[in-house]
């Protein structure tokens, strides 16, 4: 069942990406062509889902499967008419070493993130539990509109819904929201690495620099942990969007594919969708300064993507909530669109940047590492010293990178300033120009080592050995000062959230997850997220359920039994959070009443909770 969901994910995304290839000329490189089909297809799939949702068609996995298969057959038919049958010649199947190594980096990242995600038998922190409720709602109700059920969710309607929509569709083909969130979150986080490689390759016009930059991003602690939140989807879409924009240089028709990917990038998370827009604006400014012309098709891609995001999501939300209501939903009762703080914000010192630590934040770790910090400094010095070359048409990526660095560095340190946007979440954005500059520096140092040996001997073997030795030293330094702390954090035991009342309650829910079959209807008077996040079921969005959670606690055991049987509930949980909500004495009385009743049988109890089976 889980294998089916994985196969379907790649079939959806590759199929939609193959269809998007009808719009523009794809890469000649086999791996780039097919891997970026997955990236472009990921964005296209989400845009398609937003369109279905808007016009009232259910978000059913079978519709996405049918659409992807249909696109594959259309593409085959179109290629057949052009005389192309799968592979026209051997060049179509050529594989170069650099993307192959980038694929290895993706695999290593997936191993790390999946190992860390499944290192503990619960969802981590608080965000993931809220996402579990939204994902379950999408999987069953097959919509991301929730106003008709009183909007009991934090991360859909009016919150940009791309993450919960994607996970909800994937969850429809397996019985575990817990596994869906953990595995596919780790997968899309890891896909960021290889999507970044292909973006950097197009951006710098150097596959070697792109690989060095991708290795830096792979190793840097501050770029994406396996934390379950919507930003995990924004970042891979971030790189795919910029890749598509870069491809406009090769074929102007790429503006259409770019718009299709940019739209979901702008409907994935409030903070980083905004940051993407700012990065895109800086990109345009940098290119205009260097090339001294207006980029019509790139602008058309950005504007069309923004317009599409408004049509598919933001305009319906403004119509439903009003602009002020929408802003207050995200920013609270006293919103300031220029001073948005984050929960983990603080003022950083130099050591926070240079030294990576094995104990770190789990949602957005901080730190770069000693060697990557030195490489970044070398990259800055080199680019600034060659500032005249920076303004050559082929080198616009250098100015854009420096502008991104300046902006991201301010964003990370903005806690002390009135203009800010969740500074602690900007660390992953800082990792982007840091990695690009590190890639530039690694290439510079490698070339210096080769030229130094070449001045001594003309032996190709000696030159190659010098290159490999220098790269080995640099990579070893990056691994020990950046990647090992990152790996330590990402494979550690993360906490299950701040809402629990005791360790016994946590242990009770672990028993609940492991000993009661998935999908069993289970009632609670307190926290529905725990029922849904641990793969049982309660209708969190049903009016009768929420009303009974408020009013049913003070009814008799017999009355509780009648309502539970009518709703086909098989279990009821009374936990520490119930006691916190209704009072310790009242909760103890409720437990005693259920014990005395012949209608309920205790199947588990400890000091944190008791689970009853409904007879």
CA distance 417 to 404: 19
Tally the C-alpha atoms within 13 A of residue 19's C-alpha that lie toward its C-beta. Answer: 22
User: Whole-number mean pLDDT of the chain?
Assistant: 94
Tell whether 177 is covered by a domain. Answer: yes
Cβ neighbours of residue 132 under 8 Å, at least 6 residues apart? 123, 177, 178, 181, 529, 532, 533
The residue from 266, 301, 325 where one domain ends is 325
Pairing of strands 522-524, 420-421: unpaired
How many C-beta atoms surround the C-beta of residue 19 within 10 A? 23
Residue 85 pLDDT > 90: no
Residue 269 pLDDT > 90: yes
Average the pLDDT over 509-533 and give the result. 97
Rg of the chain in Å (alpha carbons):
26
Tell whether 204 is covered by a domain. Answer: yes
Q: What's the confidence (pLDDT) of residue 83? A: 66
pLDDT digits (tens, 9 = 90+) for 192-250: 999 999 999 999 999 999 999 999 999 999 999 999 999 999 999 999 999 999 999 99
CA distance 262 to 276: 9
Tell whether 527 is covered by a domain. Answer: yes
What DSSP assignment string belongs to 125-148?
TTHHHHHHHHHHHHHHH--S--GG
Residue 337 pLDDT > 80: no
CA nearest neighbour of 38 among 73, 8, 77:
8
The 8 Å CB, 24+ separation contacts for 470-479 are 470/445, 470/446, 471/442, 471/446, 474/371, 474/375, 474/442, 474/445, 475/215, 477/370, 477/371, 478/215, 478/216, 478/219, 478/369, 478/371, 478/372, 478/375, 479/219
Enter the tokens of residue 581: 């909500």
pLDDT digits (tens, 9 = 90+) for 130-184: 999 999 999 999 999 998 888 899 899 999 999 999 999 999 999 999 999 999 9
> Which has the minimum average pLDDT: 136-140, 413-417, 484-488?
413-417
Tell whether 413 is covered by a domain. Answer: no
The residue from 310, 325, 340 where one domain ends is 325
Question: To which residue do tokens 């005693």 refer?
Answer: 592
CA distance 180 to 8: 13
The residue from 271, 297, 325 where one domain ends is 325
8 Å CB contact between 529 and 537: no
pLDDT digits (tens, 9 = 90+) for 276-331: 999 999 999 999 999 999 999 999 999 999 999 999 999 999 999 888 888 777 76
Distances (CA, A) of 502 to 525, 575, 576, 578, 605: 17, 10, 7, 12, 14
Residue 267 pLDDT > 60: yes
Q: What's the confidence (pLDDT) of residue 151? A: 83
User: pLDDT-based confidence at 387, cuts 50/70/90?
Assistant: confident
Residue 368 pLDDT > 80: yes
Question: To which residue do tokens 């502008």 refer?
Answer: 403
CA nearest neighbour of 482 among 367, 375, 360:
367
Q: Could you give the dihedral angle defined by the CA atoms of residues 339, 300, 398 and 26, in that order, rounded to the nearest 10 degrees?
A: 130
CA distance 420 to 415: 7
Residue 84 pLDDT > 70: no
Tally the C-alpha atoms within 13 A of residue 520's C-alpha that lie toward its C-beta. Answer: 19
- Strand residues in 202-303 grouped as ranges (E): none
Q: What's the confidence (pLDDT) of residue 458? A: 80
Tell whether 490 is covered by a domain. Answer: no
Integer distance in angstroms from the first to the last C-alpha of the chain? Answer: 31
8 Å CB contact between 196 and 266: no
Q: Could you give the dihedral angle defined by the CA atoms of residues 271, 221, 409 and 127, in that order, rounded to the nearest 10 degrees?
A: 20
Residue 481 pLDDT > 90: yes
Distances (CA, A) of 486 to 21, 307, 410, 479: 36, 38, 23, 9
Q: How many structural domains does the chain have?
A: 2
Q: What percent of the chain has pLDDT over 70?
A: 97
Alpha helices of 394-456 — where are they, by DSSP H? 396-412, 427-454
Residue 613 pLDDT > 60: yes
Enter the tokens of residue 469: 């030795």
Indicate the pTM of the whole model: 0.95
CA nearest neighbour of 101 among 243, 29, 207:
207
Q: What's the confidence (pLDDT) of residue 77? A: 87
CA nearest neighbour of 382 among 404, 407, 401, 410:
401
CA distance 320 to 318: 5
8 Å CB contact between 42 and 239: no
Average the pLDDT over 30-47 and give the result. 97
Q: What's the confidence (pLDDT) of residue 175? A: 96
Residue 73 pLDDT > 90: yes
Tell whether 436 is covered by a domain. Answer: no
CA nearest neighbour of 214 among 248, 239, 184:
239
- Strand residues in 53-136 grouped as ranges (E): none
8 Å CB contact between 173 and 5: yes
Structural domain span for residue 38? 2-85+96-325
CA distance 110 to 107: 5
Tell whether 583 is covered by a domain. Answer: yes
DSSP-derived letter for residue 314 is I
User: pLDDT-based confidence at 92, cuts 50/70/90?
Assistant: low
Q: What's the confidence (pLDDT) of residue 89? A: 52
DSSP-derived letter for residue 83 is T
Residue 101 pLDDT > 90: yes
> Which has the minimum average pLDDT: 63-72, 296-305, 436-445, 461-470?
461-470
Partner residues linked to 572 by β-bridges: 523, 612
8 Å CB contact between 486 and 356: yes
Q: What's the confidence (pLDDT) of residue 611? A: 98
Tell whether 246 is covered by a domain. Answer: yes
């Amino acid at each position: 069942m889980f294998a089916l969901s994985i196969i379907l994910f790649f079939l959806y995304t590759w199929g939609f990406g193959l269809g998007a290839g009808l719009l523009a000329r794809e890469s000649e490189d086999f791996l780039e062509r097919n891997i970026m089909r997955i990236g472009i297809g990921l964005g296209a799939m989400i845009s398609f889902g937003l369109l279905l949702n808007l016009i009232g068609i259910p978000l059913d996995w079978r519709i996405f499967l049918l659409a992807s298969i249909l696109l594959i057959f259309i593409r085959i038919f179109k290629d057949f008419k052009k005389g192309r049958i799968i592979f026209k010649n051997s060049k179509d199947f050529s594989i170069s070493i650099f993307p192959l190594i980038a694929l290895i980096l993706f695999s290593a990242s997936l191993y790390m993130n999946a190992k860390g995600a499944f290192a503990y038998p619960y969802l981590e922190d608080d965000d993931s539990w809220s996402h579990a409720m939204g994902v379950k709602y999408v999987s069953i109700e097959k919509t991301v509109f929730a106003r008709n059920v009183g909007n009991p969710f934090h991360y859909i309607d009016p919150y940009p819904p791309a993450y919960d929509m994607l996970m909800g569709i994937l969850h429809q083909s397996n019985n575990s929201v817990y596994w869906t969130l953990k595995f596919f979150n780790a997968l899309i986080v890891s896909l960021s690495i290889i999507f970044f490689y292909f973006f950097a390759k197009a951006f710098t016009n150097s596959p070697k620099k792109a690989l060095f930059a991708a290795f830096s991003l792979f190793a840097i602690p501050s770029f994406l942990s396996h934390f379950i939140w919507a930003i995990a989807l924004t970042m891979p879409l971030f790189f795919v969007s910029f890749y598509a924009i870069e491809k406009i240089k090769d074929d102007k028709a790429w503006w259409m594919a770019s718009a299709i990917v940019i739209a979901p990038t702008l409907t994935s998370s409030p903070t980083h969708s905004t940051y993407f827009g700012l990065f895109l604006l800086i990109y345009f400014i940098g290119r205009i300064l260097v090339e001294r012309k207006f980029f019509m098709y790139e602008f058309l891609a950005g504007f069309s993507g923004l317009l599409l995001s408004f049509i598919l999501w933001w305009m319906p939300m403004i119509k439903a909530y009003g602009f002020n209501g929408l802003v207050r939903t995200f920013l609270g009762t006293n919103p300031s669109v220029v001073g948005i703080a984050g929960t983990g914000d603080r003022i950083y010192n130099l050591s926070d940047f240079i030294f990576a630590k094995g104990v770190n934040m789990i949602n957005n770790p901080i730190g770069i590492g000693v060697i990557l910090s030195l490489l970044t400094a070398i990259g800055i010095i080199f680019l600034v010293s060659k500032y005249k070359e920076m303004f050559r048409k082929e080198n616009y990526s250098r100015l854009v990178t420096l502008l991104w660095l300046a902006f991201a560095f301010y964003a990370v340190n903005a806690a002390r300033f009135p203009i800010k946007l969740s500074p602690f979440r900007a660390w992953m954005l800082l990792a982007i120009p840091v990695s690009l500059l590190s890639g530039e520096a690694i290439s510079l140092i490698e070339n210096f080592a080769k030229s130094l040996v070449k001045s001594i001997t003309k032996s190709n073997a000696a030159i190659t050995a010098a290159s490999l030795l220098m790269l080995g030293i640099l990579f070893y330094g990056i691994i020990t000062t950046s990647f090992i702390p990152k790996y330590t954090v990402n494979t550690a035991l993360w906490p299950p959230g701040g809402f629990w009342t005791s360790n016994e309650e946590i242990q009770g829910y672990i028993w609940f997850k492991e000993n009661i079959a998935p999908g069993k209807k289970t009632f609670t008077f307190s926290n529905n997220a725990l029922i849904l996040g641990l793969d049982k079921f309660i209708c969190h969005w049903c009016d009768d359920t929420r009303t009974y959670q408020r009013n049913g606690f003070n009814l008799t055991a017999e009355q509780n039994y009648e309502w539970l049987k009518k709703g086909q509930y098989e279990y009821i949980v009374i936990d520490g959070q119930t006691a916190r909500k209704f009072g310790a004495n009242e909760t103890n009385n409720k437990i005693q009443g259920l014990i005395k009743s012949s209608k309920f049988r205790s199947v588990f109890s400890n000091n944190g909770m008791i689970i009853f089976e409904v007879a």
